[in-house]
Structure 1
Amino acid sequence: MLSKEKLQRINELSKKKKAGTLTEVEAKEQTALRKEYLETFRATMRDNIEHLTIVDPEGNDVTPDKLKQIKANKFLN
């Protein structure tokens, strides 16, 4: 997860961009921070999905085979 300071900086830069006062250096910083944020978000989301088990109302495991394979591969590594 991104630190609070980095999230605050992303928001500051976004406000400056909307106001039209963003410098080239700040634009590059904003791009790098956004990239880092998206990478972190995607990794967290992927990890959350890979730890899901889907159960139908009758209590049967109906987790997709692809997800089961990913879990099995992670367990073996």
Structure 2
Amino acid sequence: MLSQEKMARINHLSKKAKEIGLTEEEKSEQKLLRVEYIKTFRGQMVEHLHAIKVVDPNGNDVTPKKLRQSKDQRKKLH
């Protein structure tokens, strides 16, 4: 998860961009912070998906093959 300071900075730059605009330095900082935010978000989403197990009404594991493969690859890395 991104620190509160970085989230506050992202929000500050966004608000400033809408109100008065950003300098080139601020624009590049904003871009880097957005990239970091998206990377963090995607990582959290993958972890969330890896915690999911799909079961049909009969109790059979019907987790999609692609998700099972991703979980297996993740286990091998750790």
Q: CA deviation at 1:62?
A: 0.9
How many Å apart are 1:48 and its aligned residue? Answer: 1.2
One-letter identity of the residue aligned with 1:20 = I
For 2:3, give the aligned amino acid.
Answer: S
Q: Which runs of 4+ in 1 moved over 3 A?
A: none
Structure 2 unpaired stretches of 5+:
none
CA distance in 1, matches of 2:18, 2:49: 34
Give 2:7's aligned amino acid: L
Write the letter of the residue equivalent to 1:70. S
Aligned position for 2:11: 11
Equivalence for 1:60: 60
Q: Equivalent residue for 2:21?
A: 21
2:51 is aligned to 51
Q: SS of 2:58's equivalent?
A: coil
- Consecutive unaligned residues in structure 1, runs of 5 or more: none
Q: Distance in 2 between matches of 1:26 and 1:35?
A: 14
